Amino acid sequence: MDMKRAELSEKFRRELTIRNYSPNTQRAYLNGLQRFLEYFDKNHPEQISGDFLKNYILYLKEERHYSYSSLKHALAMLRFLYENVLEQTTDFDFDLKIRKTYPLPEVLSVAEVRSLFEKILNLKHKTILMTIYACGLRISEAINLRVSDIDSERMLVRVTSGKGRKDRLVILPENLLTVLRRYCQEFHPNDFLFEGAEGGQYSVRSIQAIFRRAVKCAKIRKKVSVHSLRHSYATHLLDQGTDIRYIQELLGHKHLSTTQIYTHISNYNLKKIKSPFDNAEFRTLV
């Protein structure tokens, strides 16, 4: 098979669409394909050996500083390229085992979340970040929200096409409903709950920029991102004593093990533990 790069990219896109991959996955795979094509420059993927593909993964890890999840995405993209687009075999092991690290997510305290919101004066900007925190949303889920997803009668929010293309329902807090009503009265969203200046979905980059400015204004020194609001939501639920299985459902996690990482950063159970140094035998020493 001898395809030009433009033809290869187009066939790659068509195959993703036919197999009903989500828009986010399509974008990620297509971006990954372009990076791969740029890496070997004049070569064609049909001429690439398994060793070359292994060197590419090494390049992503050592020079591009890809995380575990990003490397797994790159491997999945390469597998899709060779198996479904080029339809050829290679001596590269697409099941390459990559050891996963388990860094604890950075979370904001309740006071820090409040401070962050207080620094945002624009009602739309504030409402977007409040919705992400109050419902524990991924940024992609927030921009996909439609006005019709807000069920004020049942006090629920329908999150459609979340990660893994699974819809779910999350709690609509009364405080958020108040903010959303004020926001809708001012901005009159038509279809998407959060629309850009020219209509359509609000952009991910704009939300990230809003968050960065708010973090700077609030003088928060932690290395946090918009996704940290979701981490904070889950941790604060645990701090309140919420059963982790309910939190799993609210976050849309397929496996409980994914949710359990928050048990390592919640202080709910830690508060119930008494250090042996607090025993009476040590009291006279302090």
- Give the C-alpha distances (Å, rounded to integers) separating 278 from 65, 94, 273, 282: 44, 53, 11, 7
| 171: DSSP letter | E
Choosing from 230, 231, 233, 236, which is the catalytic residue?
230
Q: DSSP string spanning 197-237?
A: TTSSBPPHHHHHHHHHHHHHHTT--S---THHHHHHHHHHH
146 is catalytic: no
73 is catalytic: no
How far is 61 from 75, CA to CA, in rounded Å? 12
Token pair, residue 258, equals: 């994914």
Choosing from 11, 44, 163, 168, which is the catalytic residue?
163
13 is catalytic: no
Choosing from 29, 202, 233, 262, which is the catalytic residue?
262
What element of type H or E holds 151? strand 150-151
114 is catalytic: no
Q: DSSP string spanning 46-115?
A: GG--HHHHHHHHHHHHHTS---HHHHHHHHHHHHHIIIIIS----SS-TT---PPP-PPPP---HHHHHH
Choosing from 73, 138, 231, 236, which is the catalytic residue?
138
- Give the C-alpha distances (Å, rounded to integers) separating 126 from 100, 123, 190, 208, 213: 35, 5, 19, 12, 12
227 is catalytic: yes
246 is catalytic: no
Choosing from 21, 119, 227, 268, which is the catalytic residue?
227
How far is 276 from 255, CA to CA, in rounded Å? 35
List residues with catalytic annotation: 138, 163, 227, 230, 253, 262
